[in-house]
Amino acid sequence: MEKDSKKHTLKSVIEHRVLVTHNDSIRHWNNDHGIQRIDDQNYDYMLSYAINEFDTEKNYIDVHSLQFTPQSFEKIINILEKHNFINFILDKIYHTKKNQNEFTAILRKKN
């Protein structure tokens, strides 16, 4: 989400509405990722739906604009720290526990 914005970007709305399947962590761990909502037959419909929602919805649209795996998060934090964009280092990552969908990261302020 853009700084000081009450709405996500159009990109985030499209990605969330078109690419997200379900949020059942046990199903994901059992390799059941659900049915993707987009294919060649419904691409135009899904894209139009997301754009229309973005254009007409005056209130906050509940979508996730950032998604990370423990590996992608670690890589991004390390790059940001290396180039002095942040004043933190990654102290520890606790990988996602089985049948759950979140991981924990501990950042430590650089001296």
- The pLDDT tens digits for 82-103 are 999 999 999 999 999 999 989 9
Neighbours of 110 (CB within 10 A): 10
Residue 24 lies in a domain: yes
In the predicted model, what is the mean pLDDT of residues 11-39?
85
pLDDT tens-digit readout, 42-58: 778 888 888 888 888 87
The pTM for the full model equals 0.67
Confidence of residue 62 (pLDDT cuts 50, 70, 90): confident
Say how many residues make up the chain.
Answer: 111
Query: Can you tell me the distance from the alpha carbon of 1 to that of 32, in angstroms, rounded to the nearest whole number?
Result: 29
> Is 77 within 8 Å of 69 (Cβ atoms)?
no
Query: Can you tell me the distance from the alpha carbon of 2 to that of 10, in angstroms, rounded to the nearest whole number?
Result: 11
Residue 45 domain boundaries: 10-56
pLDDT of residue 5: 57
> Is 63 within 8 Å of 13 (Cβ atoms)?
yes
Structural domains in the chain (count): 2
Residue 64 lies in a domain: no
Do both 48 and 75 map to the same domain? no
